[in-house]
Chains A and B, each alone.
Chain A
Amino acid sequence: MVYRFLLFCFFLLMSGCSTTLRPDLSLPAAEAGYPTAEFYAGGNLFHGLGSVVAARGSPLSDVNLEVQGYFSGVIRVDSAACGVSESVVYSNSSRVKITLPGVAVASCLLDILVSPSYPEKNNKTNERTYQFKGQLAVKVLGKQDPWIGYSTKLRADGDEPVIIDVGAPGQYHLVFRGCSSKYDEMLRTPSSTIKAQFKAVVPAKNKDPHCLLEGFIERVDKWSPPVRLSWQVWRYSSDFLPLPIPSVTAGSWGRVSVEGDPSVSVISLDDEYKVNYKAEFYFDDKAPHTLRVFTVKGRSAVCEYYFDSNEGWGWECLN
């Protein structure tokens, strides 16, 4: 009996007590054309795709781009038009500030690639790990020009409505170019939003898996300045499933329980990272938090806990 106990202890020591990365049977997100990098620009959190406006002639560093790294690894950011070609080695799951050089002259697309290295002690099964891709569209405009940036991750065989918040009922002129689009329509709305369909905006002949629509919308029955639009459209493989949003349950003694999909390998609340698909954290429910879950295939979900003056404290998740 003593021998057996000693042997058990010996093997526990040899194999280590840490949890391990879990397999994810999905297609890798980056290869499926589904961007999932977590980054911040202009004070907003983006998951995979984001857009930001820069006033013409202002320093590009005003974009305030920060990319979230997981564990340790390399973050790469490139754009020929914005003159950025930078790779940064990071550690300790830090959020890396990327200072864009020069002044805003021309709009550009910043491609982002996060390549994390997971702790070896947590990869006993030698799971192959994948990268997180992202893209930030920087729109350069005059200071007074109104603009709205949108992005859509669209299933390759699917369609979705293009919904634009116009603020009031009326008749509007909507125009798009890029992505082979020649969309030019007069649309009337009885509500505060205008709707079209992607199938109508982006023609079937456009085979580009990701492209950028540029356009404008203006009210025609009552004069108002045209609002420029930028819309990133990324079509992802119809075999790919985005990672489900994790469930968060308030526990006792100021704790929360988080449970992700069984394919989730890592759950993180703010700066605390746990290798598992479910975890508990201490939680101050009167302070903002960021929760993230991700798999070895680069599928992820990022949730923000924040205060809304109408609804109080609550979660908002992107996946």
Chain B
Amino acid sequence: MGMLELIKLLSGGMDTVKSALAQGHTFLAGLFLFVVVASFIYIKFQSLYKKGIQRANLRDQTKAQIENPIDNKADEINQKKAENEIEDILKGGH
């Protein structure tokens, strides 16, 4: 159930609750309110749970970045090699 559906249900449902109370159906009114509140709490907890997992993933990712250097040794070896070749050509008078 999305937030919008819940809003619709709640706003429409308050008339139902009022009418149920007016007819003395306290249990039905209470049950309806319970379902609505429980749905709301479920949605909130589900969202918090997802955020918690995301936060934990991010924490792991951040920790890995802090601890693990980016390995670009191969690129730097190639850079050095290319640079040496150019210097050799320049020194040799090509």
Q: How far is the CB of A176 from chain B (nearest CB, A)?
A: 8
Tell me whether chain A's interface is mostly helix, strand or loop, or mixed: strand
Instruction: Give the distance in Å from the alpha carbon of A120 to the alpha carbon of B89 in the complex.
Output: 56
In this complex, the interface size class of chain B, counting residues with CB under 8 Å from chain A, is 20 to 34
A80 CB-CB contact with B under 8 Å: yes
B90 touches A7 (CB 8 A): no
| A228-B76 contact, Cβ under 8 Å, with A7-B11, A11-B3, A87-B66 | no
Q: How far is the CB of B90 from chain A (nearest CB, A)?
A: 6
Task: Return the contact of B3 from the options A15, A128, A179 (Cβ within 8 A).
Answer: A15
**Which residues from B are CB-within-8-Å of A237?**
none
Complex interface bits, B52-81 against A, C-beta within 8 A gives 1, otherwise 0: 001100100110011001111101101111
Q: How far is the CB of B54 from chain A (nearest CB, A)?
A: 6
Instruction: Give the distance in Å from the alpha carbon of A109 to the alpha carbon of B69 in the complex.
Output: 13
**Which residues from chain A sit less than 8 Å from chain B, CB to CB?**
3-4, 7-8, 11, 14-15, 73-74, 76, 78-81, 85, 87, 89, 106-109, 111, 113, 115, 117, 120, 123-124, 126, 128, 135, 137, 173, 175, 177-179, 208, 210-216, 226, 228
A173 touches B11 (CB 8 A): no
B72 touches A111 (CB 8 A): yes
Instruction: Give the distance in Å from the alpha carbon of A124 to the alpha carbon of B44 in the complex.
Output: 11
Task: Return the contact of B54 from the options A115, A126, A135 (Cβ within 8 A).
Answer: A126
Residue of A nearest to B88 (CB): A177
Q: How far is the CB of A101 from chain B (nearest CB, A)?
A: 14
B20 CB-CB contact with A under 8 Å: no
**Which residues from A are CB-within-8-Å of B75?**
109, 210-212
**Which residues from B are CB-within-8-Å of A89?**
66
Instruction: Give the distance in Å from the alpha carbon of A126 to the alpha carbon of B55 in the complex.
Output: 10
Offer 29 A-B interface pairs, CB within 8 angstroms, sorted by A: A4-B14, A7-B10, A7-B14, A8-B7, A73-B62, A76-B65, A76-B66, A80-B72, A80-B73, A81-B79, A81-B80, A85-B69, A106-B80, A109-B72, A109-B79, A115-B62, A117-B62, A124-B47, A128-B54, A175-B89, A177-B81, A177-B82, A177-B85, A178-B79, A212-B75, A212-B78, A212-B79, A214-B83, A216-B89
Tell me whether chain B's interface is mostly helix, strand or loop, or mixed: helix
**Which residues from chain B sit less than 8 Å from chain A, CB to CB?**
3, 7, 10-11, 14, 44, 47, 50-51, 54-55, 58, 61-62, 65-66, 69-73, 75-76, 78-83, 85-86, 89-90, 94
Query: Which of A73, A87, A178 is packed against the most chain B CB atoms within 10 Å?
Result: A178
Task: Return the contact of B62 from the options A74, A78, A178, A228 (Cβ within 8 A).
Answer: A74
Q: How far is the CB of A134 from chain B (nearest CB, A)?
A: 11
| A78-B72 contact, Cβ under 8 Å, with A106-B80, A173-B94, A177-B82 | yes
**Which residues from B are CB-within-8-Å of A106?**
80
Q: How far is the CB of A50 from chain B (nearest CB, A)?
A: 15
**Which residues from B are CB-within-8-Å of A113?**
65, 70
Instruction: Give the distance in Å from the alpha carbon of A89 to the alpha carbon of B66 in the complex.
Output: 9
Task: Return the contact of B11 from the options A3, A74, A107, A213 (Cβ within 8 A).
Answer: A3
A76 touches B94 (CB 8 A): no
Instruction: Give the distance in Å from the alpha carbon of A124 to the alpha carbon of B7 in the complex.
Output: 17
**Which residues from B are CB-within-8-Å of A78?**
69-72
Instruction: Give the distance in Å from the alpha carbon of A76 to the alpha carbon of B70 in the complex.
Output: 8
Instruction: Give the distance in Å from the alpha carbon of A61 to the alpha carbon of B69 in the complex.
Output: 20
Q: How far is the CB of A118 from chain B (nearest CB, A)?
A: 10
B65 touches A178 (CB 8 A): no
Residue of B nearest to A145 (CB): B90
Instruction: Give the distance in Å from the alpha carbon of A106 to the alpha carbon of B90 in the complex.
Output: 18
**Which residues from B are CB-within-8-Å of A213?**
82
Instruction: Give the distance in Å from the alpha carbon of A87 to the alpha carbon of B44 in the complex.
Output: 35
**Which residues from A are CB-within-8-Å of B78?**
178, 208, 211-212
